[in-house]
Structure 1
Amino acid sequence: MSANNSVYEAIGGMPTFRKIVSGFYKQVPEDDILGPMYPDQDFAGAEDRLLWFLAQYWGGPALFNENRGSPRMRMRHMNYPIDMAAHDRWLKLMKNSLDDIDEETLPMPYRQMIWQHMNQLAGMLINKAP
């Protein structure tokens, strides 16, 4: 990645982030821990919001801010019981999604950066003791 390129640009922009997010959300409706957390089965809306957030975070367009305001992830997830089991499941489904993307599309250095961010994000959102 050159100094002028963002991760977003380096891995192909919105199509790659859409693959990550759609791969994750394909698994969520049937998941016994994460599926029930979505109000009114709002999977499409949630998918858009995660796509906007990740694309923006990694240097893409500020779609999250434009559509939702500041991310404030802890505040936005406060009403959902996120314990270590939810944390672990979220990461498992996200890893499955990342693993489904070929290395040409998502080279290892970028995959590792994104995975590290996913781990930090999941840890930050835990709001319920065991």
Structure 2
Amino acid sequence: MGEAEALGATMFERLGGADAIDRLVEAFYHRMDILPEAKGIRAMHGRDLGPVKQVLKRYLSEWTGGPKLYTPEKGHPRLRQRHVRFPIDVAERDAWLLCMRGALEETIEDAAARHEIDESFTKLADWMRNQAENPHDTRGHI
């Protein structure tokens, strides 16, 4: 157990606070712009990523235990409901995780925190799927 964990630091603090969240989101969307594997998920976004970057920064700040910047503006996250108009299958999940994992590696120094947040992101990304992989997989159906 690291010192930050022992002291009960929030994930927000362990990641490096607001500056780290900003760097993480910028690195994430940069990867989405340049990686061929992310072309499909990039197409789900508007041309200008500025507004969506701000939303993700606010969400991640709150989700990791930092300042509550998302819910006062947007209300309950309702992530699946907000993303239901986008077909999210294994390929989209994997592309999102590829971008996020690269961004984590680039921006977060604390390896334990990086591993823990990656586990959480992996569960979240899988939960966001709304398309079945095959006819016998009903997990993706809403």
Which of 8, 28, 42 is 2:12 aligned to? 8
Question: 2:14 touches 2:110 (CA, 8 Å); kept in 1?
Answer: no
Where do 5+ consecutive residues of structure 1 fail to align?
none
Question: 1:87 touches 1:126 (CA, 8 Å); kept in 2?
Answer: yes
Aligned equivalents of 2:81, 2:57: Cα separation in 1: 18
Aligned equivalents of 2:55, 2:30: Cα separation in 1: 15
- Whichever residue aligns with residue 21 of structure 1, its letter is V
Question: 2:24 touches 2:103 (CA, 8 Å); kept in 1?
Answer: yes
Aligned equivalents of 1:27, 1:108: Cα separation in 2: 20
Change (3 A) 1:27 1:11: closer
Structure 1 consecutive aligned stretches of length 4 or more whose deviation exceeds 6 Å: none
Alignment of 1:85-124 (within 5 A): 85-101=91-107, 105-124=108-127
Task: List per-residue Cα deviations over 1:11-56 (Å, max 9, x = no partner).
Answer: 3210011111110011223432111111x32411111111111110
Task: List per-residue Cα deviations over 1:80-104 (Å, max 9, x = no partner).
Answer: 1111100000001111111112xxx
Instruction: Look at both structures and tell me which one has the larger radius of gyration over its CA atoms.
Output: 2
What's the counterpart of residue 138 of structure 2? none
- Whichever residue aligns with residue 19 of structure 1, its letter is R
Aligned positions, number: 125
TM-score (norm 1): 0.88
Change (3 A) 1:24 1:121: same
Higher normalized contact order (CA 8 Å, seq sep 6+, divided by chain length): 1
Question: 1:28 touches 1:34 (CA, 8 Å); kept in 2?
Answer: yes
Alignment of 1:1-130 (within 5 A): 1=5, 2-3=7-8, 5-30=9-34, 31-38=38-45, 40-101=46-107, 105-130=108-133
Three-state SS of the structure 2 residue aligned to 1:29 is: helix
Q: 1:108: Cα distance to partner?
A: 1.1
Aligned CA-pair RMSD: 1.4
